[in-house]
A = this chain, B = another copy of it.
Amino acid sequence: MLAVGTTQTARIDGISAAGADPDIMVHTPSADAEIVAYGEPIRAPVVPVSPTGCPTPAVVTRAVRDVLGFDLTVVDAGLAEPTGAPTVTVGARAGSDIREPDPVSTAPGAFAAAREFGRSLPDDEVYLAESIPGGTTTALGVQAALGERGGVSSSLLENPVEQKREVVAEGLETSGLDEGELAGEPQEAVRRMGDPVLAVVAGTALGCLESDTAVTLAGGTQLATVAALLRHAGVDRTVDLATTSFVADDPSVDLDGLADALDLSVTVTDPEFEAGDHPAFDGYAAGEAKEGVGMGGALAMAATAGVPMADLRERVLERYRQLPFDA
């Protein structure tokens, strides 16, 4: 399950690398969904790349899907631009800037609809993933509202931590909230300081857990923030999180600390993208992008299925070469 959405928080200069610039970035989740669904963008006008040209992790997730053939369900968690990928509707709308007073007014409704959706899924096991530019800043906002202090990663090489903290502080002030004031109120925390993707992923996860569908949070610190939301919703069992070695190696993230604080069972998978092997890998090897679109979860699935990483890298490059960068 891939939740795709947007927040205007991503328009703040310097906050996200999930697209070449803010006007293009708003298409990233729509394009990511298409890449995982079809292998390439079909309606979105861009192939998402960072400002330096690092390709979206959607390519990696799609490459794993090529090999393993897992089912995909995309949920519209507040897209601002159309997608040609099939999507499930749960009433989410694009999020506003968290420095505004009520940036995610659809959060409670989308959470409830996603929970019902998660409850009704007949699957034994579901991996939950996200694509939302600016999503680590809104995740930091939710952590602050809940009183959690895990910290967040970044799609940028240099995590603009100070800037994110300032945005979050301003958001708390606008909303008249102290840090931790929304502990135990996960839906309200997302509504006031988060983004619609967090509402949808947390709601789906809760619904899955309530109906005995095993859940793996497939992502980095945004998905760890979903785990925090689940804790504040009363879930007390250990939660699985599968992420990449790039998040584990991120000096701005204490993944072990997060795992301890949130009782996460963490799987870290290294796709062994070496600098110099191919330009598509250089950004990752340097520490850009790191995670997103379920990349860490997909890599974990591939590793569990015994797919050699060398084969997977070859498949990633085949997919990369087919992308219409000049479209």
Chain A residues engaging chain B, CB cutoff 8 angstroms: 37-40, 42-43, 69, 71, 73-75, 82, 84-89, 116-117, 120-123, 322
Contact = CB atoms under 8 A, between A and B. Distances in A.
Contacts of A122: 38-40, 42, 322
Given A37-B73, A40-B122, A87-B87, 11 more contacts: A38-B122, A42-B120, A42-B122, A43-B117, A43-B120, A69-B69, A73-B86, A84-B88, A84-B117, A85-B86, A85-B88
Interface of A is mostly: loop
Copies held by the complex: 2
A43 B120 CA distance: 7
A204 to B, nearest CB: 12
Nearest to A38: B122
Contact of A121 (B38, B73, B75, B123): B38
12 contacts: A37-B73, A42-B117, A42-B121, A42-B122, A43-B120, A74-B86, A82-B89, A84-B117, A85-B86, A85-B88, A86-B87, A86-B88
B84 A120 contact: yes
A121 B37 CA distance: 10
Contacts of A117: 42-43, 84
Contacts of A40: 122
Contacts of A86: 73-75, 85-88
Kindly list the 5 A-B residue pairs having the minimum CB-CB distance in the complex, ordered from nearest: A86-B86, A42-B120, A69-B69, A86-B88, A86-B87
